[in-house]
Amino acid sequence: MRDTLTLEVDDLVVDVLTGIYSEETGKPQPLRISMAVEMETPGRFDPDTALTASKNYMDIKFAATDALPPGVHFKLIEAVAEHICDTLFAQDERVISVKVKIVKLAIAEKDEKIGMTLVRHRP
């Protein structure tokens, strides 16, 4: 069994054009997005290991923020997660799998968490 590294960015709140109902279309709604990126690891991480041995967390955050195309309406949050996965795979060939969890904040009434989790493995 080989060693892997999982990098995580949790609980980003991002406004995204998404939804299928008339009251959802045309205006962004807040989504809480968490991501776990599993990647190959080169071995041990010593105190002087360069960042290139891992992945910059800001690249992961970018996949769920600036990499989402402006003005595009995603009918399903599953499509948002798919776009995030595609971006992360394109960024780095060492990425083995991506897990994206999205919670729709606008529809919560009593602090429940309504959403989905998508796990994709490198094709």
**Residue 105, Cβ neighbours under 10 Å: how many?**
15
Mean pLDDT of 7-18: 97
pLDDT of amino acid 24: 76
Q: Which residues contact 79 (CB under 8 A, 6 or more apart)?
A: 18
Domains annotated for the chain, with CATH where assigned, are: 4-43+52-121 (3.30.1130.10)
Tokens 């009918």 belong to: 75
pTM given for the model: 0.93
Burial class, 3, CB count within 10 angstroms (exposed 0-12 / middle 13-18 / buried 19+): exposed
Instruction: Please tell me the distance from the alpha carbon of residue 92 to that of residue 103, in angstroms, as a whole number.
Output: 26
Q: Residue 1: what pLDDT?
A: 73
